Structure 1
Amino acid sequence: MADLQDMLDAHVRFELARWQGEALGATIVGEVDAAYRFLGTVTFAELLDPEAVAESAVAALCRLELDAAQLADVAVAAVDAARGYAQGSDATLADVVSHDRFTEVATAAIGLTGVRAEAIAQITTSEVYAKLMSHVLYQGIKNYLQSENPVAKKVPGAAALMRFGQNAVNAAAPKLEQGIDRQLTAFVASSVADTIKDSQAYLSRVLTPEVLGAVADEVWQTNSQQALTEVAGMVPPEQLEPLTRAAMAALLEARRTDVAEDAVRSMVTAYFATYGDVPVASMLTDAGLTAEAVAQLLAPAVAAALASPAAADYLAERIRARLGDFYASYAAAEPAG
Structure 2
Amino acid sequence: MHPTAAVLLDAHTRHFMDRLAGPDLSTLLDDETASLCDWAATRPVTCVTDEVRVRDFLLRNVFEVAPSETLLTQIGTLATVALKNPMNKQTSLEELLNAREYDLIVDRVIELEDLRRQIVHSVMQNPSVTQLISDLVYHGLKNYLVEENGLTKKVPGMSSLMKMGKGMMERMGSLDAALESTLKGYVKRNTRATMELSERLVERAMETPKLKAVARQFWQQIKGEKLHRVTQYVTADDVDDVVRIGSTIWNHFRQTPYARDMLNDLVHAWFEQWGSQTLMQVLEDIGLTRERLQVEVRSIGEPLVAELIQSGHLEARIRLHLESFYDSPEATTALGG
Q: Shorter-chain TM-score: what band?
A: 0.7 to 0.9
SS in 1 for 2:328: helix
Aligned to 2:54: 53
Residue identity in the other structure for 2:194: T
1:327 aligns with 2:323: yes
Residue 32 of structure 1 is matched in structure 2 by: 33
Mean Cα displacement is larger for which, 286-295 or 15-24?
15-24
Give the alignment's TM-score, normalised by structure 1. 0.77
Q: Is the 8 A contact 1:32 1:294 kept in 2?
A: yes
Structure-2 separation of matches of 1:126 and 1:176: 34
2:219 is matched with: 220
* Equivalent position amino acid for 2:62 in 1: L
1:246 Cα deviation after fit: 0.7
Q: State the TM-score, normalizing by the size of structure 2.
A: 0.77
For 2:198, the equivalent position in structure 1 comes to 199
**CA-atom RMSD in angstroms:** 3.9
Q: 1:98-177 maps to which residues of 2 (within 5 A)?
A: 98-126=98-126, 129-130=129-130, 133-134=133-134, 137=137, 161=154
SS at match of 2:84: helix
Q: Secondary structure at the match of 1:215?
A: helix
Q: Are the equivalent residues in 1 in contact too, given 2:41–2:280 (CA < 8 A)?
A: yes
Render the CA deviation track for 1:136-165: whole Å, top value 9, x for unaligned: 64587689999xx9xx6xxxxx78647x97
Letter paired with 2:72: A
Q: Which runs of 5 or more residues in structure 1 are unaligned?
A: 153-157
Shift of 1:93: 1.8
Q: 1:20 to 1:251 in 2, by over 3 A?
A: farther
Cα gap change, 1:222/1:114 in structure 2, threshold over 3 Å: closer, same or farther?
same
1:295 equivalenced with 2:287 (yes/no)? no
Identity %: 19
Q: Deviations over 1:173-226 (max 9, x none)?
A: 57869x799586654334323323333343344422222322332332232222
Matched residue of 2:91: which SS?
coil
Q: Which amino acid aligns with 2:301?
A: V
The aligned counterpart of 1:155 is none
Deviation of 1:306 after TM superposition, in Å, equals 5.2
Structure 1 pair 78–112 and aligned structure 2 pair: CA distance change class (3 A): same
Q: Measured at CA, do residues 330 and 251 of structure 1 come closer, stay the same or move farther in structure 2, by a change above 3 Å?
A: same
Alignment of 1:274-313 (within 5 A): 274-305=273-304, 309=307, 311-313=308-310
The one-letter code of the counterpart of 1:251 is W
> Which residue in 1 is equivalent to 2:173?
none
- Structure ID, larger Rg: 2
Contiguous gaps of at least 5 residues in structure 2:
171-175
- Cα distance in 1 for residues equivalent to 2:215 and 2:223: 11
- Residue in 1 aligned with 2:210? 211
Partner of 1:241: 240
